[in-house]
Amino acid sequence: MDRPLTRLLGEEERDTLHEQTLRVLEEVGVAYNTPAALDVLEGTEAVLDRDGLRARLPRELVMRSVEATPRKVLLAARDPAHDVVLGDGDLSFTSDGTATYVLDDETGERREGTARDLRTITRLFDALPDVDYVWPTISARDLDPLTANLEIEAIAFRSCSKHVQDEVRGPEYVAPLLDMFAAVGGAPVAERPVFSTINCTVAPLAHDGAMTEASIGLARAGVPIAIMPMPLMGTTAPITVAGAAVITLAELLSAVVLFQQAAPGCPLIASPEPASADLRSGLYVCASPEAAATVLACVEMAKQVYGLPTQGGGIGGDAKAPDFQDGIEAAGVLDALVGADSLVGVGCTDGAQTTSLATIVLHHDAAGLVKQRLRRPSFTVESCLVDDIRTVGPGGHYLGRSSTRRHARDAWQPDVLRRGTFEATRGRTLVHDALERAQSLLATHEVAPLPDDVDRHLDDVVATHRRLARRSGTA
């Protein structure tokens, strides 16, 4: 996709954010919270504090690690027709992950999500063409905690043929997951990365030790890692846009350093997701103008200054249901304009706590609309159609022209957003139409099943891990 790019930041502002971020990494450092991280950094220019599991990172080490990061990342799918390459100029969309609740679009009732919900929702994502890869949206509460991380990925692979992205919460899951990935992809994950992991840092300036250990192992195996700092302005980050951006970028770059030292050339994705804290209630707010400005600044720095493949938070927000507020918050254009290769969030509302079938379909229309609006039109001599203009002349029409017939299907058409007459939709809500569309897709869409031997292998991997975890007494 040839799309226009813009800037939020001037050159001086870029330089300021860059220099202050490097200053924080050099002078303050980060807490990696696992000896494994410091073992990786041993022998580099990093200044290590073994007792505090912290490291200060000189700018030379930071920038060398940034430069070593690939500019493109393959997100392979079990169906190669759905392969995605981040960094090649196209704009992709993915779902949002780990929602707790499912909203009933007819009754308005909300309940905890289940494995059945996860299967249904993932199959719906598979049916929607503008959802390019899938982050399992529901953290199913009825799964065995010992094996939930494995079972969720197994459900995702069975329920869609697209690339799967998710968190890996501890090093004990690395070996069984790599076994899964090789079976699903038909090749080692470094050759066909059918899965990418999300590594969430812990603001301010810290890393989750168990997740970091898992990500080191996955990086060494060739699994792409989406680094997702999520500081909250006013609580776990400074309250200003600039201060929150510095914290976000420092956490992002500290992860880049670690993973590039652990596995030189490993594929990484910058996925900055700072948000606001509502200081009146203490609640997480992801769609405030301040949070949006911070995300934009960080996406621009990650993509246009550091050259990293980048995910932005362009869809979804704080609305409690698929309503007018949700429509405003799901616009997603600005993140794409500053260079994001992918936008996260299709399907979730309420600060990524809640999903619904109607929300997914409506957000899918928003994603398609954003893609189309950012597609640069052709302005060639041929596309100006001056010969047609001459032939039709003043007062005529173009309905019968061959150019009209030839390009009639080029125009984007929404699934449920309305363009018909007022009378055609009288008494029906857009949410009702979206729910009906979701139900129709679920009734007709078939996901190609995994081969029988692969399907059985996934069950075996889960069962083996459960048995070993129970034997050792670890979760």
Tens digit of each residue's pLDDT (9 = 90 or more) over 417-435: 988 888 888 888 999 999 9
Q: Which residues contact 19 (CB under 8 A, 6 or more apart)?
A: none
Q: What is the pLDDT of residues 435-461, one digit of tens each?
A: 999 999 999 999 999 999 999 999 999
Separation CA 186–CA 454 (nearest Å)? 9
Q: What is the pLDDT of residues 66-95, one digit of tens each?
A: 999 999 999 999 999 999 999 999 999 999
Kindly indicate the confidence band of residue 320, based on its pLDDT and cuts at 50, 70 and 90.
Answer: very high
Question: Which tokens go with 374?
Answer: 């950012």
pLDDT of residue 475: 47
Kindly indicate the confidence band of residue 345, based on its pLDDT and cuts at 50, 70 and 90.
Answer: confident
- pLDDT value at 314 more than 80: no
Measured CA to CA in angstroms, residue 39 lies from 46, 64, 271 at distances of: 11, 19, 25
**Nearest residue to 94 via CA among 414, 413, 340:** 340
Query: What percentage of the chain has pLDDT greater than the value 90?
Result: 84
Separation CA 30–CA 33 (nearest Å)? 9
Mean model confidence pLDDT for the chain: 94
Question: Which tokens go with 426?
Answer: 């009288």
Kindly give the residue spans of alpha helices, DSSP state H, lying in 160-313: 174-185, 209-221, 241-262, 289-300
Residue 204, preceding peptide bond in cis (omega within 30° of 0): yes
Phi/psi at 308 (5° precision) = -90, 145
Q: Which residues contact 448 (CB under 8 A, 6 or more apart)?
A: 79, 161
Question: Which tokens go with 180?
Answer: 């899964």
Confirm if 184 and 194 have CB atoms less than 8 A apart: yes
pLDDT of residue 474: 56
Its sign, for the CA torsion 28, 48, 173, 188, is positive
Separation CA 144–CA 463 (nearest Å)? 11
Query: What percentage of the chain has pLDDT greater than the value 70?
Result: 99
Measured CA to CA in angstroms, residue 328 lies from 165, 253, 345 at distances of: 26, 31, 14
Phi/psi at 199 (5° precision) = -110, 105
pLDDT of residue 97: 86
Q: What fold does the segment set 71-234+267-374 form as a domain? A: TIM Barrel (3.20.20)
pLDDT of residue 332: 64
Residue listed under structure tokens 């301010």: 204
Kindly give the residue spans of alpha helices, DSSP state H, lying in 93-140: 115-127
pLDDT of residue 259: 98
Separation CA 30–CA 11 (nearest Å)? 27
Length of the chain: 475
Question: Which tokens go with 314?
Answer: 């362009």
Measured CA to CA in angstroms, residue 220 lies from 31, 190, 259, 264, 450 at distances of: 21, 9, 9, 9, 27
Separation CA 434–CA 321 (nearest Å)? 13
- pLDDT value at 316 more than 90: no
User: Residue 316: exposed, middle, or buried by beta-carbon count in 10 A (0-12, 13-18, 19+)?
Assistant: buried
Using CA atoms of 200, 203, 208, 209 in order, give the dihedral in degrees to the nearest 10: 140
